[in-house]
C-alpha cells in the first residue's frame, strides 16, 4: 500500500471476511479486537432467475427483507462495537470493508439449499436465453465504511481519509476480479433517504457480479458500432464544449451531452484505464482533490445535502478491457430546492427518459458551485 496506508485482514464470528485500511496518518495501533458475537450461520445464497423477454438476470435475495432501517446512533450496525451495540465491526477503525451478511450475490455455501440449482457456467451460459432458467447468484457484496462516525458521506472526508477509501476501492477491485466466476466489479455510494438509503452511516458498497451488467453490455455494443476509441472521443468532445465543470491534469468532470437526470456528472480519467486498480498513485492522488471538490460543490447547490448515487463504472473482468474506460457517473433525482424527479410512466415502464433540465444550465450551476468549495475537517 502506498503512502503508508496499511491493510489488515480479520474474520467475523460467522466466517465473513473483514479488512481494515488504516490511514497514512492514522492514530490507531496495529491490534484489533476479535469478533466474539454468537452469530447464526450465514443465510442461503440468493438464486438468479432470467427474464426471458430481455435476457436479464434478477437476483431473488429474500434475506435482504430483514435489513436494519435508519437505526439510532447507539444501534448503528456499522459503528465500532460497544457493550450495548453488537455491530458488524469489532473495534475502532479508519476504513473498514466486510462481506455483507445478507448479500444480493454471495458464495456457494455448503448445505444452503441451492444444490438443485447450478452456478453460472461463464459468459456463454449467462448469455444464453430460455424459459425457467435459474442459477445460484454466485458473487460477492461488500460494505465499505468510510468512517466510524454515525452520519456523513464521502464528500465530508478529509483528504487523507478519502485517499484511504480510494485505495480500498482499488484493492478490493483487484482482489474481487480474481475470484472464480466474477465478470464485473461495481463500486458505488448511495447518499440520502430520498435515494432509499437505510443507514445514515458514511459508507458505500462493492458488488462483484457473475455476469456483465446490462448497462455495460449496451456500452460494449456502442464500442462495437463506433470504434474502440469511443471514450477518448467522448472526452475530447466534452473538453472542447461548455459542459465541463471541473478539470485537472489527469481527470475531467462534465455534465454529459444527453443527461437524462436533472443532475448528472461524469468524471473520466484522461488516459485509458479499465478500473480503479489500474489507476496510478498520481491519478489516485489527484482524484482525491477533484472528487472532494465535486461532491462538496454538488452539496453547495442547495441549503441541505443533495441525494445522489455515485457509480464507478469499470470494465468487465474478461472482456472490453482495452475499450471500456473507468468513469464515475454521479446522478441525483433532485431537480430543484423542493422538487424530486420521480420516474413517470414513459421512464419507468419503457426506459424512454424526458429530461427536465437543460444539461448546459446544470453544468453552469455546478461549475459555479465547485469554484468555491466548502472545506471540511470531518473524517
Rounded to whole angstroms, how far apart are CA atoms 95 and 202? 10
Rounded to whole angstroms, how far apart are CA atoms 318 and 311? 20
Cα dist. 12→86, 87, 97, 193, 244 in Å? 12, 11, 11, 29, 44
Catalytically annotated residue among 201, 203, 272, 327 = 203
Residue 335 dihedral angles phi and psi, to the nearest 5°? -115, -5
**Contact between residue 94 and residue 21 where contact means Cβ atoms under 8 Å apart:** yes
- CB < 8 Å & 24+ apart, contacts of 125-133: 126/57, 126/183, 126/210, 126/211, 126/212, 127/55, 129/50, 129/52, 129/55, 130/50, 130/52, 131/52, 133/49, 133/50, 133/52
Residue 203 DSSP code: E
Those residues whose C-beta lies under 8 Å from the C-beta of residue 159, and which sit 6 or more positions away, are 288, 289, 292
Rounded to whole angstroms, how far apart are CA atoms 204 and 188? 6
Rounded to whole angstroms, how far apart are CA atoms 182 and 172? 13
**Contact between residue 290 and residue 283 where contact means Cβ atoms under 8 Å apart:** no
Those residues whose C-beta lies under 8 Å from the C-beta of residue 343, and which sit 6 or more positions away, are none
Those residues whose C-beta lies under 8 Å from the C-beta of residue 252, and which sit 6 or more positions away, are 235, 238, 239, 244, 246, 267, 268, 270
Rounded to whole angstroms, how far apart are CA atoms 123 and 57? 12
Query: Is position 203 annotated as part of the catalytic site?
Result: yes
Residue length of the chain: 379
The residues assigned a catalytic role are 203
Amino acid at each position: 500500500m502506498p503512502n503508508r496506508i496499511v491493510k489488515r485482514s480479520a474474520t467475523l464470528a460467522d466466517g465473513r471476511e473483514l479488512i481494515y485500511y488504516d490511514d497514512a496518518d492514522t492514530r490507531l495501533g496495529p491490534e484489533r479486537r476479535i469478533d466474539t458475537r454468537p452469530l447464526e450461520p450465514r443465510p442461503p445464497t440468493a438464486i438468479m432467475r432470467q427474464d426471458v423477454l430481455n435476457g436479464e438476470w434478477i437476483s431473488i435475495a429474500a434475506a435482504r427483507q430483514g435489513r436494519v432501517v435508519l437505526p439510532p446512533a447507539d444501534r448503528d450496525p456499522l459503528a465500532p462495537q460497544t457493550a450495548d451495540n453488537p455491530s458488524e465491526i469489532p473495534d475502532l477503525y479508519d476504513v473498514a470493508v466486510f462481506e455483507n451478511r445478507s448479500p444480493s450475490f454471495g458464495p456457494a455455501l455448503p448445505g444452503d439449499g441451492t444444490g438443485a440449482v447450478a452456478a453460472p457456467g461463464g459468459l456463454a451460459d449467462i448469455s444464453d436465453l430460455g424459459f425457467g432458467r435459474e442459477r445460484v447468484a454466485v458473487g460477492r457484496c461488500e460494505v465499505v465504511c468510510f468512517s466510524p462516525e454515525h452520519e456523513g458521506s464521502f464528500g465530508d472526508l478529509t483528504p487523507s481519509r478519502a485517499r484511504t477509501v480510494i485505495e480500498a476501492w482499488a484493492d478490493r477491485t483487484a482482489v474481487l476480479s480474481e475470484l472464480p466466476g466474477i465478470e464485473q466489479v461495481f463500486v458505488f455510494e448511495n447518499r440520502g433517504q430520498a435515494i432509499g438509503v437505510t443507514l445514515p452511516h458514511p459508507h458505500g458498497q462493492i458488488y462483484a457480479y457473475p455476469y456483465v451488467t446490462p448497462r455495460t453490455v449496451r456500452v460494449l455494443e456502442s464500442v462495437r458500432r463506433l470504434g474502440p476509441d469511443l471514450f477518448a472521443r467522448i472526452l475530447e468532445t466534452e473538453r472542447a464544449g461548455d459542459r465541463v465543470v471541473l478539470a485537472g491534469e489527469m481527470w475531467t468532470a462534465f455534465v454529459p451531452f444527453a443527461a437524462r437526470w436533472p443532475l448528472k456528472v461524469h468524471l473520466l480519467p484522461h488516459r485509458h484505464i479499465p478500473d480503479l486498480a489500474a489507476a496510478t498513485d498520481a491519478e489516485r492522488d489527484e482524484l482525491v482533490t477533484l472528487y472532494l471538490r465535486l461532491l462538496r460543490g454538488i452539496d453547495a447547490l442547495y441549503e441541505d445535502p443533495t441525494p445522489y448515487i455515485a457509480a464507478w463504472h469499470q470494465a468487465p473482468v474478461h472482456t472490453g478491457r482495452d475499450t471500456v474506460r473507468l468513469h464515475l457517473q454521479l446522478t441525483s433525482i433532485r431537480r430543484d430546492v423542493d422538487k424530486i424527479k420521480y420516474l413517470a410512466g414513459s421512464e419507468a415502464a419503457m426506459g424512454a427518459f424526458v429530461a427536465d433540465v437543460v444539461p448546459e444550465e446544470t453544468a453552469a450551476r455546478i461549475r459555479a458551485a465547485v469554484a468555491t468549495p466548502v472545506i471540511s475537517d470531518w473524517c
